Amino acid sequence: MKYYIALYQKLKDTYLSINSNENDLPLICPSLTMYSKEELELLKPQSQITDKNIIGESLLKKEQVSNELNSIPTSSSNWSVNPQNILSEVYKNILENIQPIGLQDEFVKLDVNDSAVLFDSKQKPTKEYKAYLKHLELYEKSLDTIQEHLLEFGSLSTDSEKTSWEEKLVVLKSKAKLAYAELEVKGYKNVVEKAINDINNNTELEKYLSLLESTKSIFDITKKTGVETLASYHNIDFSPYDFMVNESGWNNLKIDKKELDELYLKAKQSSVGIPEEILSLEYDEKYIKGIELDYSFVHLKRSWFNKEIFNEKFFSHTNEKKISDGQTISNDFQLSAFPKIMILMKNLKVDLETNIENQVIAINNMIHFGPLVLKNQMFVNRQNNTNFLKVVTNKETIRSNQLQYLTRKSENTSLEIQKTETKETTITNPVIRRTSAINTASMRILNSPKTNIIKPVEAKPVAARPIGTILHVNTTLLTPIIATFPIVGANTTFIVNDSVSKSGVYKCSISIKGKEGNNIVREIETNQEGKITTHLPVGKYNIDLKCDFYTSKTIEINIENNNPINLNYELSRDIVEYKSYFLIGMICEKMPLIN
Task: Answer yes or no: are the C-beta atoms of 583 and 35 closer than 8 Å.
Answer: yes
Note the pLDDT of residue 469: 46
Number of separate helices (H) and strands (E) present in the chain:
16, 23
Category of 543 on φ-ψ map: left (φ > 0), alpha (ψ -120 to 50) or beta: beta
Note the pLDDT of residue 594: 85
Sorted by sequence, the CB contacts under 8 Å of residue 129 that are 6+ apart come out as 117, 118, 119, 188, 192, 446
Provide DSSP, 338-384. Answer: EEEEEEEEEEEEEEE-GGGHHHHH-TTEEEEETTEEB-S--EEETTT
Provide DSSP, 14-53. Answer: HHHHH---TTEEEEE--S--EEEHHHHHHHS-GGG---GG
User: Distances from the Cα of 393 to the Cαs of 36, 346, 582, in angstroms?
Assistant: 8, 9, 9
Q: List, as own/partner pairs, every contact residues 378-382 make where C-beta atoms lie below 8 angstroms and the sequence separation is at least 24, other chains included.
A: 378/352, 379/349, 381/349, 381/351
Note the pLDDT of residue 208: 78
User: Distances from the Cα of 451 to the Cαs of 180, 184, 201, 281, 369, in angstroms?
Assistant: 18, 19, 21, 63, 61
Q: What angle do CA 459, 464, 468 make, to 5 degrees?
A: 135
pLDDT tens for each residue of the chain, 595 residues long: 788 989 999 999 999 998 878 889 999 988 888 999 888 888 887 666 666 666 655 677 888 888 899 999 988 888 988 888 899 889 988 888 887 776 545 444 445 455 677 777 777 888 888 898 999 999 999 999 998 898 888 888 888 888 998 899 999 999 999 999 999 999 888 888 888 777 665 567 777 777 887 777 777 666 655 544 455 678 888 999 889 888 888 999 999 999 998 998 898 888 666 777 777 766 677 788 899 999 999 999 988 888 888 877 788 888 888 888 888 898 889 999 999 999 999 999 999 877 777 777 777 777 888 888 888 888 888 777 888 989 998 888 888 887 877 777 776 665 555 544 433 333 333 222 223 222 333 322 233 333 332 233 333 333 333 334 445 566 677 776 776 666 678 899 999 999 999 999 999 999 999 888 788 888 999 999 999 999 888 899 999 999 999 999 999 999 988 899 999 999 999 888 889 999 999 999 999 888 7
Q: Residue 10 belongs to what H/E stretch?
A: helix 2-18
Quote the CA–CA distance of 221 and 216 in Å, as a whole number: 9
Residue 86 sits at φ, ψ, to 5 deg, of -110, 150
Note the pLDDT of residue 343: 96
Note the pLDDT of residue 32: 84
User: Distances from the Cα of 339 to the Cαs of 15, 23, 28, 239, 589, in angstroms?
Assistant: 15, 12, 12, 14, 6
What's the gap between Cα 144 and its chain centre?
31
Provide DSSP, 114-126. Answer: G-TTTB-TTS-B-
- CATH tag for 486-571 (out of 3.40.980.10, 3.40.50.1480, 3.40.50.720, 2.60.40.10): 2.60.40.10
Quote the CA–CA distance of 361 and 387 in Å, as a whole number: 13
Quote the CA–CA distance of 100 and 312 in Å, as a whole number: 10
Q: What angle do CA 494, 500, 501 make, to 5 degrees?
A: 75
Task: Answer yes or no: are the C-beta atoms of 310 and 27 closer than 8 Å.
Answer: no
Quote the CA–CA distance of 181 and 174 in Å, as a whole number: 11
Nearest to 98 by CA among 247, 12, 209, 264: 209
CB atoms within 10 A of CB 443: 17
β strands within 171-250, DSSP E: 237-239
Residue 107 sits at φ, ψ, to 5 deg, of -85, -15
* Gyration radius from the chain CA atoms: 29
Note the pLDDT of residue 231: 59
Task: Answer yes or no: are the C-beta atoms of 585 and 16 closer than 8 Å.
Answer: no
Q: Residue 531 belongs to what H/E stretch?
A: strand 531-536
User: Distances from the Cα of 362 to the Cαs of 191, 527, 535, in angstroms?
Assistant: 78, 19, 9
Task: Answer yes or no: are the C-beta atoms of 105 and 119 closer than 8 Å.
Answer: no
Q: Is the dihedral of CA 200, 315, 66, 244 positive or negative?
A: positive
What is the maximum alpha-carbon separation in the chain? 102
Quote the CA–CA distance of 458 and 527 in Å, as a whole number: 55
Quote the CA–CA distance of 132 and 437 in Å, as a whole number: 13
The single-letter DSSP state of residue 534 is: E
Quote the CA–CA distance of 307 and 327 in Å, as a whole number: 17
The alpha helices in 385-508, defined as continuous H runs, are: 395-398, 401-409, 440-445
CB atoms within 10 A of CB 265: 12
Residue 266 sits at φ, ψ, to 5 deg, of -65, -45
Provide DSSP, 57-78. Answer: S-HHHHHHHHHHHTBPP--SSB
Task: Answer yes or no: are the C-beta atoms of 569 and 494 closer than 8 Å.
Answer: yes
Task: Answer yes or no: are the C-beta atoms of 305 and 546 closer than 8 Å.
Answer: no
In DSSP terms, 473 is beta-bridged to 413
Q: CATH 2.60.40.10 region(s) of the chain?
A: 486-571
Note the pLDDT of residue 77: 84
Quote the CA–CA distance of 248 and 240 in Å, as a whole number: 7
In DSSP terms, 544 is beta-bridged to 511, 554
